[in-house]
Amino acid sequence: MNYNYGVRKKSVVSVILLTFITCGIYTFFWMYQTTKELAEYSGDNRLSPETSILLTILTCGLYQIYWWYRIADIFMSAQQRAKMPRLSDNKILFVVLSLFNFDFINMAILQGDMNQMWEAADQNTMTSSDASNDPFDSDDWVDY
């Protein structure tokens, strides 16, 4: 199966601008999409997009501090799957910035890192599909 992960990339500037233009409402849409995409790609379903949004609203944003910590962990799993050369662990940074209500900075950092990860995932998909299209690399061509 060949996926195009590049379509998941979003402009960091547009994410920040939409957050300010919509007075923070875009944050919930972005949070939903990010949770869903990273959970699907990494296979780590500890966070549910719907539950994350609901709990963030019900706790007046307190749950979002936990969400930042957990999403950074899920992102690290996704980076490993994409075979990225470096792993960034921004858990503590995300929590501290979230405590001081600088979530838009967290969004910019995570979106930029995710854009790099989607590029790496696309490259891995293309190299693995190129290798699987080689007829001489099949088990059917074994000499006895």
Nearest to 63 by CA among 35, 26, 22: 35
What is the predicted pLDDT for the residue at 1?
45
The C-alpha atoms of residue 49 and residue 39 are separated, in whole angstroms, by: 9
Encoding tokens for residue 73? 């962990």
The C-alpha atoms of residue 73 and residue 82 are separated, in whole angstroms, by: 15
Helix, strand, coil share of the chain (percent; to 5): 75, 0, 25
pTM: 0.82
The per-residue pLDDT of the chain, averaged, comes to 86
What is the predicted pLDDT for the residue at 7?
74
Nearest to 9 by CA among 37, 28, 35, 31: 37
Residues 37-53 have a mean pLDDT of: 94
Length of the chain as a residue count = 144
**Is residue 117 within 8 Å of residue 8, measured between CB atoms?**
no
Pick the range with the lowest mean pLDDT from 17-21, 40-44, 50-54: 40-44
54-110 pLDDT, tens digit per residue, is: 999 999 999 999 999 999 999 998 998 888 876 678 999 999 999 999 999 999 999
